Amino acid sequence: MKNFRLAIINTGAANIHSVAKAVRVVGGEPVVTTDSKTIASSHAAILPGVGANDAVMKQLNDLKLPTTIREFATSGKPLLCVCLGMQILFEKSEEGELPGLNVLQGEVVRLPEAIAESTGRPLKIPHMGWNTVRFRDEAVPRHPIFTGIPQNAHFYFVHSYHCSVADPDDVAAVSPHGIDVCAAVVRGNVVGTQFHPEKSGRTGLSIYERFLDFAQSTV
């Protein structure tokens, strides 16, 4: 769509460029930015992140972006948050001392030591590699960006901490890793994935493609 503006918020994380590349592959023309006015004036935004809570929150605080992101989240415009980008939506994290954005209620906690039911062996932390994702269709309506994805589709994860979500209705999907790990959240215009769509093959790319389509349909 002509004049459609999509911002990728530069958190300083290592996956910024791979996210931007994935969006371009599916036809988007994102602007990677730390400018609050550019973000606020965009029709949609993506908040990526990998690494540690405090490193990313310090970057955002130094740039005075938390208020901009919170206002965007309440604006009704589509916001997609990936991996650590999803985790910092919450109030706080055991991983660090700096508070999160408090867009969603809950906290980020370390994955528990657990035993794989299939092998009886300890599950590794970090949770790294491909795993299945089950959408909670019985409880939470599918967001348009997840339309058409089959139950138990495989996505790529890299994380040692997970979101303990206060409101179960915010949890759109789960993935098994000893417990049902929150794999995706949805609240209104805000969507988050613990997995990396940009590392998840064609199925992952379809999420960015549908996010673009959905965002453009709201303009």
AA letter at 24:
R
One-character DSSP codes across 108-155 = EEEPPP-B-TTT-SBPPSSEEEEEEEEE-TTTSPPPGGGTTPPTTEEE
Percentages (nearest 5) of helix, strand, coil residues in the chain: 30, 30, 40
**Catalytic positions, please?**
83, 196, 198
At 99, list the tokens: 């508070």
Our CA angle for 181, 200, 16, nearest 5°, is 95
